[in-house]
Amino acid sequence: MEEIWERSLSPERIAYLAQSRIPEIIFCNTVLLVIATAGLLVRLFVRIRYLTGINLDDVLCITSWVFTFVLCVACMLMTKYGFGKHIGTVSSFSDRAMFLKLDFVTMLAYVLALGAIKVSFCLLYLHIFPGKIFRMACWWILAILVAETIEETLVVIFQCQPVYKAWDATGLVEGKCVDMTVFYYANFGIKLATDVALFVMPIPKLLQLKMATGKRVGLVVMFSLGLLVCVTSIIRVTYFNPFSNDHTWVLVDAMNWSCVEVAVAIFIACIPSFKSLISYRFPALQRLLGLASKDDSVGPSKMYGSSGRRTYNALSNRGRNSIKLKPVTGHSRTDVETNGSQERIVHSGIQVTTDVSVKQSV
């Protein structure tokens, strides 16, 4: 190939075709896999070792990581078939067809990875935040996310009729295909609105917590990091271009940002577990960072509780506004009044405590 270039192409054309973004693709996807994997391992370690074990939101986080792994590995494999180089360097139709097949895999993996991790966020909110209106809103967003994921999956699979026309490099297969760029633009507004609602929704709840201002701000910042997913989604959509003849080159930026979006979402979903890890394994670092409070203890029973909720005289506080306990002696009676959710909520390393006022009458 190089000899042909030297004989028939200008030096400028040879330099143009020799351009390569393969090192950038390999580096980007490797780093993203390391980040997402590290976050997931910390989350699973904390859950299994210190908390209540694996829950459904953790299963969805693992599912998202699996599809993210497929996405990143497929992107790196595509470099063997021209991805990251100009299409003029890919002379074999079989290589071009394999590139298109792997591109088809990446589209599916991206949709499923992002859908799984967003649903995981919703399930996390349902597990730790009380409030009927909040939970109803959360269920609505959950339903929208599931519907979006199913819709996008079906569109990707059946973007062409027949389906295998999607990876036809010769142009000889008869049929028609959906313009996926138009579809992504049309779908972007709905997805962005859903994402913003998903990541902003818990902030009012956090602002109502009765705790030190620094800790409250820290929790708000931690949950607000989810908005970075929206930022990466916006950046990604700016790189969408109509399908180009030089698609092995022009797809690089959009594909890299797709991988960034899902990897960042997974890592952000795992961030709360890092606080629990620091609290138990590195208490000195916890105090240095100002994460400890005067009632914190390094013991797992104190830090995480012995169960998912607290009880008073075998009565569980499940969202009731007041609990009247049975008389202990004579005419004495103790009324335990609660303000909102008075139990300690520990999930994914998030610990929320509120005050309990006890009134005693004789």
CA dihedral 98→102→104→105, nearest 10 degrees, is 140
Whether pLDDT at 361 is above 80: no
Joined tokens for residue 345:
């909520």
Q: Let me know: does 43 contact 348? Beta carbons within 8 Å.
A: yes
State residue 171's pLDDT score. 81
pLDDT tens string 219-248: 788 888 888 889 998 999 888 876 567 888
Whether pLDDT at 323 is above 60: no
pLDDT tens string 107-117: 999 999 999 99
Q: Are strands 333-338 and 356-361 parallel, antiparallel or unpaired?
A: antiparallel
The closest of 38, 105, 83 to 264, measured between CA atoms, is 38
State residue 218's pLDDT score. 77
Taking residues 3-9, what's their average pLDDT?
56
State residue 257's pLDDT score. 94
Whether pLDDT at 125 is above 50: yes
State residue 138's pLDDT score. 92
pLDDT tens string 135-177: 999 999 999 999 999 999 999 999 999 999 999 888 888 889 8
Q: Are strands 350-352 and 345-347 parallel, antiparallel or unpaired?
A: antiparallel
Give the strand order in the sheet containing 333-338: 322-324, 333-338, 356-361
Asked which of 61-75, 80-94, 114-128, 306-320 is least confident by mean pLDDT, the reply is: 306-320
Q: Which residue has the higher pLDDT, 328 or 89?
A: 89
String of DSSP letters for 87-111? GGG---HHHHHHHHHHHHHHHHHHH
pLDDT tens string 40-65: 999 999 999 888 788 999 999 999 99
Joined tokens for residue 114:
């992002």
The rounded percent of the chain whose pLDDT value lies above 70 is 75
Rounded to 10 deg, the angle between the 227-238 and 247-281 helix axes is 170
Q: Which domains does the chain have, with CATH numbers?
A: 21-289 (1.20.1070)
Per-residue buried b or exposed e for 103-116, using 16+ beta carbons within 10 Å of the residue's own CB: bbbbbbbbbbbbbb
String of DSSP letters for 24-82? HHHHHHHHHHHHHHHHHHHHHHHHHHTSS---HHHHHHHHHHHHHHHHHHHHHHHGGGT
- What sign results for the dihedral spanned by CA atoms 231, 235, 236, 241? positive
Joined tokens for residue 142:
């959950």
Burial class (CB in 10 A: 0-12, 13-18, 19+), 343: buried
The β-bridge partners of 335 are: 324, 359
pTM, to two decimals: 0.78
The closest of 345, 347, 349, 312 to 209, measured between CA atoms, is 345
State residue 11's pLDDT score. 82
Question: What is the SS3 assignment for 177?
Answer: strand
Joined tokens for residue 135:
């939970």
Q: What is the mean pLDDT of the chain?
A: 78
State residue 220's pLDDT score. 83
Residue 184 pLDDT class (50, 70, 90 cuts): confident
Question: What backbone torsions phi and psi does residue 311 show, to the nearest 5 degrees?
Answer: -130, 155
Joined tokens for residue 360:
């005693």
- What sign results for the dihedral spanned by CA atoms 98, 104, 107, 112? negative
The secondary structure element, H or E, covering residue 187 is helix 180-200
Measure the CA–CA gap between 265 and 269, rounded to whole angstroms: 6
State residue 269's pLDDT score. 92
Taking residues 272-288, what's their average pLDDT?
75
Whether pLDDT at 332 is above 70: no
Count, residues in the chain: 362
State residue 350's pLDDT score. 52
